[in-house]
A and B are shown apart, each in its own frame.
Chain A
Amino acid sequence: MSRLIRLVLMVSALVVLPLAGCGSGDGAKAEASGELRVLDATVEVPPNPTTASIRMVVDNGTGTDDELVGVASSVADTVSVHRSETDAKGLATMVPVKALKIPARSKVTFEPGGLHVMLEGLSGSLKAGTTIKLKLTFAHAGSRTATVRVVPFGSTTSDSSAHDMEH
């Protein structure tokens, strides 16, 4: 391989890997259900009782590109969509996502180390086995209210459920 092509590939990898690998939004084609649905919403009991993260899958089974433009819940003072990233200096940080594209007939996965709905200023402690509500607002599909299962710490972010980009 020529050095130029190698260089281009290396630079591409630098740019793409953090987005594709550490981020989420796998863009996998969903079966066309004809609906926009929120699936598998969970929140782990957090080690810091004031701050938690919701994981879920947004399945846009419609033929229309959509955008997640708002999240809200009565259980926390601040609710926002964030994406974890590692910057050029090697700092792990989070980037607020104001509008998240949900392409037609695609699933976007909120997964560990990537997209999450951050709950800050939780009003009470989350208890495993209970549920909370999350309202999501989409630009086209309107709003959906997801029932979010509260699960034990570590139960959805351990090992293979998490860091899929190792290989």
Chain B
Amino acid sequence: MTAAPTPPWSRRRVLGFGAAGAAALALGACSLDRGSSPDTDAEPEPKGDWSGTLLDPPFPKPDFTFTDVDGKPYPIVEKTKGKLTILFYGYTNCPDVCPITLNTLARAKDGIGSGPGSNPLVLFVGVDVDRDTPEVLKTYLNAIDPEFVGLTPTGKTKAEKEAMIVDSLAVIKQAAPEIGEPDEDGNYIVGHPSAVTVYTADDVAHRLYPSNVRQSQWVKDLPRLDKGTYT
């Protein structure tokens, strides 16, 4: 093995997050039926068969200018203003969670068909700065849903790009990604936030979803969110 250290940005920057919040998020990530907040007992939350966790207070949008797959600036707040917007962070060499999550969203759009919730703006941020280039993201998302927006962080250096990812995740209280040690073939595992954040027309997120929500659940939730209801 080489002596090259794991990029320190992930560890250094994860320190600002509370353990209770992280535990609550981990719980939400695998268990869809409970909406827990860090300081209270888990109560069966939703009336109305919602998935995800109610955010109170709601999350704002990360006010950062990313770069889209054509190399153009993509100021998130400006581009998504007033739109039902789904924000998910992953990486293109992710063989399991990312493509399944994205495909489920794409199929949910098909399932809703037309009307409210049928045309969410789906933003996929590639956290693996070395491998998730705009070109690779373009190919990747075209295979899933060409309407999905692929974003890479903007910056002159890798450190600047990674900082944009970490800082934007901090806005939605998500841990910094972790880049694993490369194996002898140069492959490495990336830990990325499993949460899916959904913003409504009021430009905040009232619900945070785990990545393993079913298509049928999205088909229920997205139209309601698009109509401004979230409980």
Contacts and interface: CB of A to CB of B under 8 A. Distances in A.
A166 B185 contact: no
Contacts of B213: 163, 166
B139 interface: yes
B212 A166 contact: yes
A162 B104 contact: yes
A5 interface: no
Interface string B10-21: 000010010000
Interface residues of A, number: 50
A158 B107 contact: yes
B162 interface: no
B183 interface: yes
B25 interface: yes
Contacts of A162: 100, 104, 212, 214
A23 to B, nearest CB: 9
B107 A154 contact: yes
Contacts of B231: none
Contacts of B29: 22, 86, 90, 92
Interface residues of B, number: 58
Given A162-B212, A166-B214, A88 B96 contact: no
Contacts, number: 163
B190 interface: yes
A17 interface: yes
Contacts of B189: 82, 93-94, 96
Interface string A142-158: 00000000000110011
A139 interface: no
Contact of B187 (A10, A91, A121, A166): A121
B97 A92 contact: yes
Interface in A42-99: 44-53, 77-78, 82, 84, 86-94, 96
A120 B25 CA distance: 30
Nearest to B132: A48
A123 to B, nearest CB: 13
Nearest to B92: A48
Contact of A160 (B30, B97, B136, B214): B214
A21 interface: yes
Nearest to B194: A92
Given A46-B95, A167-B33, A121 B191 contact: no
Which 6 residue pairs of A and B lie closest in terms of their CB atoms, listed nearest first?
A90-B25, A47-B143, A93-B191, A91-B191, A92-B194, A89-B175
19 contacts: A14-B27, A22-B29, A53-B96, A82-B189, A84-B96, A89-B175, A89-B191, A90-B29, A93-B178, A93-B192, A113-B100, A119-B95, A121-B187, A153-B103, A157-B99, A158-B107, A158-B215, A159-B215, A159-B216
Interface of A: 6, 10, 13-14, 17-18, 21-22, 44-53, 77-78, 82, 84, 86-94, 96, 112-113, 116, 118-121, 153-154, 157-160, 162-163, 165-167
